[in-house]
Amino acid sequence: MKGFLRVVLFLGTFLAVCGPAAAQTIDPTFAAPGVYQTAGTNASLLLPNGQRLLSGGFNRVNGQASYSLIRVNANGAPDPSFMAPLGDGPNVLQRTQSGKILIFSGGGLLFPVGGGYGFLHRLNADGSLDGSFSSINTQNGSAYTMQVQADDKILVGGNFTGFNGQAAAGLVRLLPDGTRDASFSVGTGANGAVSYTLQLPDGKILVAGNFSTFNGRNCHGLVRLLPSGQSDLTFYDAGLDAGTMVQAVTAQPDGRLLLAGRLYVDGNPNLRFLVRLLPDGSYDSSFTLPYFGGNRAGVGTAGTNLVRLQADGRILVGGAFTSVNSVPAYSLVRLQPDGEVDASFAPSHSVRSAVGSLEVHANNTISVSGLFNDYTPQKKSFLLLNSDGTEINTAWPLLQAPGSVTAAVTQADQKIVVAGRFDEIAGRAAVGLARLLPNGGGDNTFAAAAPARGDIYALVEQPDGKLLVAGALIEAGLSYYTRGVTRLLPDGAPDNTFSVGQGFSNPVKHLLLQPDGRMLAVGTFGSVNTLSTLGVARLLANGTPDASFRVNPPTVFIREPHAAVLQPDGKVVVSGFFNKFSGGTTFGLVRYRPDGSEDPTFANSTEFTNASGYVPLYGLALQADGKLLVGGEFSRYGSQDVRNLIRLQPSGQLDPSFAPDLSWRRLGEATVQAILIQPNGRLLTSGTIFSTNIGSTAPFMARFQPDGAPDASFSAPIFTDRTGPASISVQPSGAVLLYGYFARLRFGTAGPYVESPLVRIDAGNVL
């Protein structure tokens, strides 16, 4: 890469508090760009007047700040008269007979502005909190499901043993005002978690979950209760086998029960996601069991029911699957009443993303919540479909959340190419890849479209100005392979002279450009094109896999590479989490020779451990003298106490002359996630770095002298609203780019926040 150094860092979950007066400042000549991505919806609720509630992970609506629950009119326009003070979107919305709205977060908590936290709240029709509804909290566990009965009483299930300070056995019923209904008792309840409840037309209640007994009676994840909470002894889930976890139940008009979850039935050892029982709980052999390939079917990420019946008896199933009966089908399918796939249901495009909620309405239209990008090039937060799966075009509002920057490279002309999870950056539409001017403004001369769908993890500029892009670049027709690496012309257009053929079997996480124009790709793949090579591959300058470099077993199997460096002699060092196929042991660090064989002269058999045992390595940097700086969450290297940052000799042996004094202050282990060697030789590190000796009580960045002594001239910025890793680039001017998954930062406790995941600072003492 030209004119910059890049490392990956992790920003922890606490605030960084600056120590002594800092020389570091926000660079006023760089306008930190707004970076936003389309946000998905968790749930929707159609109201009697045709309006609709939408809930999700957004905080902007049509370019304006917003809460995460909104009401839209039938034409999709936001209703400004509805104001629900929620920073986190609930995943279940239900309307009471009185017209009020119950909002529920399965397995989590909601924090409404002006109200106490809890998993269940009630809103008035205008979105304001209903103060007459009792505050609800569980003890010793969480709530996973909520259902409003026909009489407005509320069933709440989970794995809790206490409810509002009283003993509870994982299932309670509330009165309409939120207080506990003392007339409902389940005895000892389930010996596991309750995942779903369903009130039947006769008032009886089906209770599903991950349990093998209920009130002392054996069962397989499903029981039926009388309205009082007592077990209905006329029902027994004989159609289910041991090990079953029922997560959702849908009752058909004839009383048969469609179950979703992780199911074992009729003595068959094969896992199923969807089965049907007769009304008495016995197995219904007339239903053809569909086989779903993927993570789940019929259940959402928060345990929501994604099995819905149409008026003609056909069955809609949502989830996170890729096939049904070995035929490609993505996350939404329709079955005939007997369980056979209905081929006449053909959405305009596949719904490849997981479905959050699914509803069938009285007019046979279908609403689907989630985040979808296969219906049009623009991602969509919500879909309204006709009964045959075709989309009903509606001007839904643009829902956005903060975006992220996963890679950046400063070009020779000081323009900055950035990649990440965004659809808008610096006020311009750009899907995952964009170029900024040196002052942070958008560059209109660069093609805005990303080269393929999928995350980008690395960017490298070649000496001729062409741009190498690496990641999980999934393209149509590549099945489970990813293009992995592609090349763009200086204006962002595809370079048709570069091709890796079929591509990589898994994503490419790091890309290293050799002086001869060849490049080393590091990732979790086992092959590229038709060449088998484990985790590291070399490509020729035109993208063709280089067969003279192969990593073959028995050697290191790379589960997750965290960093990679290229030595001047052509050897490559990789840190991360990996193990051996056979023979010997490798603990997070490996060096390969120029032909891909493991370098036996490199000592890598010493364990990096902490109190939890063996841990992976993260940060990696190569000094000019060939020594290696290694960071991670370790506290010991073999028998030596080394605390998260060490230096190794070129042979891999510990360098005792490097001994940074790190006195950890937090409970457990901190992490050095990245190490950057500045042009002046000082070491800029990042991670969850809690030390008394680096001038800050809880920084996420710290700087050291070349010998490991703390650099008191550096004070870390304060990061807030972080959700993941970030990175640093040092530009030729000495300015430092900070980018990643954080939402904002500032220097000092009183300084203004800069709200962007891409900020440039004057760090001082860099060159």
Q: Reply yes or no on whether the pLDDT at 609 is more than 70.
A: yes
Q: Is 638 left (phi over 0), alpha (psi -120 to 50) or beta?
A: left
Written as one string, the DSSP assignment of 202-248 is TS-EEEEEE-SEETTEE-SSEEEE-TTS-B-TT---TTB-TT-EEEE
Q: What percent of the chain has pLDDT over 90?
A: 54
Answer with the residue of higher pLDDT: 35 or 663. Answer: 35
- What pLDDT, on a 0 to 100 scale, did the predictor assign at position 375? 47
Distance, in Å, from the CA atom of 46 to the CA atom of 28, rounded to the nearest integer, reads 47
Q: Reply yes or no on whether the pLDDT at 277 is more than 90.
A: yes
Q: Reply yes or no on whether the pLDDT at 186 is more than 80.
A: yes
Lowest mean pLDDT among 70-79, 107-116, 381-390, 444-453: 107-116
- What pLDDT, on a 0 to 100 scale, did the predictor assign at position 587? 67
pLDDT, mean of residues 436-440: 96
Q: What percent of the chain has pLDDT over 70?
A: 87
- What pLDDT, on a 0 to 100 scale, did the predictor assign at position 217? 93
Kindly give, in sequence order, each residue whose CB lies less than 8 Å from that of residue 320, ignoring residues fewer than 6 positions away. 294, 295, 296, 297, 301, 331, 354, 355
pLDDT, mean of residues 439-443: 95
What are the structure tokens assigned to 581, written together?
């196929």
Q: Reply yes or no on whether the pLDDT at 263 is more than 60.
A: yes
Distance, in Å, from the CA atom of 616 to the CA atom of 607, rounded to the nearest integer, reads 10
- What pLDDT, on a 0 to 100 scale, did the predictor assign at position 582? 46
pLDDT, mean of residues 266-281: 92
Distance, in Å, from the CA atom of 388 to the CA atom of 177, rounded to the nearest integer, reads 41
- What pLDDT, on a 0 to 100 scale, did the predictor assign at position 703? 87
- What pLDDT, on a 0 to 100 scale, did the predictor assign at position 603? 82
Q: Reply yes or no on whether the pLDDT at 82 is more than 90.
A: yes
Q: Reply yes or no on whether the pLDDT at 669 is more than 70.
A: no
Decide: helix, strand or coil at residue 737.
strand
- What pLDDT, on a 0 to 100 scale, did the predictor assign at position 713? 87
Please report, for the chain, the start and end positions of each structural domain, with discontinuous segments joined by +. 5-33+403-762
- What pLDDT, on a 0 to 100 scale, did the predictor assign at position 227? 97
What are the structure tokens assigned to 552, written together?
């073959």
Q: Which CATH number fits domain 5-33+403-762: 3.40.50.11720, 2.60.40.420, 2.60.40.10, 2.130.10.10?
A: 2.130.10.10
First to last CA, the chain: 18
| pLDDT tens digits, 315-369 | 999 998 888 998 888 889 999 999 999 999 977 555 667 899 999 999 999 999 9
Q: Reply yes or no on whether the pLDDT at 1 is more than 50.
A: no
Answer with the residue of higher pLDDT: 656 or 636. Answer: 656
Lowest mean pLDDT among 263-272, 446-455, 546-555, 638-647: 446-455
- What pLDDT, on a 0 to 100 scale, did the predictor assign at position 687? 78
Q: Reply yes or no on whether the pLDDT at 490 is more than 90.
A: yes
Averaged pLDDT of the chain: 85
Give the angle subtended at the CA of 523 by the CAs of 520 and 525, to the nearest 5°: 110
pLDDT, mean of residues 470-492: 74
| pLDDT tens digits, 586-606 | 568 889 999 999 898 988 777
Answer with the residue of higher pLDDT: 734 or 542. Answer: 542
pTM reported for the whole predicted model? 0.86
- What pLDDT, on a 0 to 100 scale, did the predictor assign at position 163? 86
pLDDT-based confidence at residue 650 (cuts at 50, 70, 90): very high
Q: Reply yes or no on whether the pLDDT at 579 is more than 80.
A: no
Answer with the residue of higher pLDDT: 147 or 718. Answer: 147
- What pLDDT, on a 0 to 100 scale, did the predictor assign at position 696? 43
- What pLDDT, on a 0 to 100 scale, did the predictor assign at position 142? 86
Q: How far is CA 333 from CA 140, 249, 351, 555, in A?
A: 38, 17, 9, 43
CB atoms within 10 A of CB 584: 11
pLDDT-based confidence at residue 23 (cuts at 50, 70, 90): low
pLDDT-based confidence at residue 281 (cuts at 50, 70, 90): very high
Q: Reply yes or no on whether the pLDDT at 174 is more than 90.
A: yes
Q: Reply yes or no on whether the pLDDT at 522 is more than 80.
A: yes
The order of strands in the sheet holding 166-167 is 138-139, 162-163, 166-167
| pLDDT tens digits, 715-765 | 878 887 655 557 888 898 889 898 888 888 888 777 788 999 999 988 888
- What pLDDT, on a 0 to 100 scale, did the predictor assign at position 611? 73
- What pLDDT, on a 0 to 100 scale, did the predictor assign at position 666? 45
Q: Reply yes or no on whether the pLDDT at 649 is more than 60.
A: yes
Answer with the residue of higher pLDDT: 718 or 555. Answer: 718
Q: Specify whether the CB–CB gap between 271 and 262 falls below 8 A.
A: yes
Distance, in Å, from the CA atom of 567 to the CA atom of 558, rounded to the nearest integer, reads 20
Q: Reply yes or no on whether the pLDDT at 578 is more than 70.
A: yes
pLDDT, mean of residues 378-392: 88
- What pLDDT, on a 0 to 100 scale, did the predictor assign at position 462? 97
pLDDT-based confidence at residue 13 (cuts at 50, 70, 90): very low
Q: Reply yes or no on whether the pLDDT at 5 is more than 60.
A: no
Distance, in Å, from the CA atom of 44 to the CA atom of 32, rounded to the nearest integer, reads 34
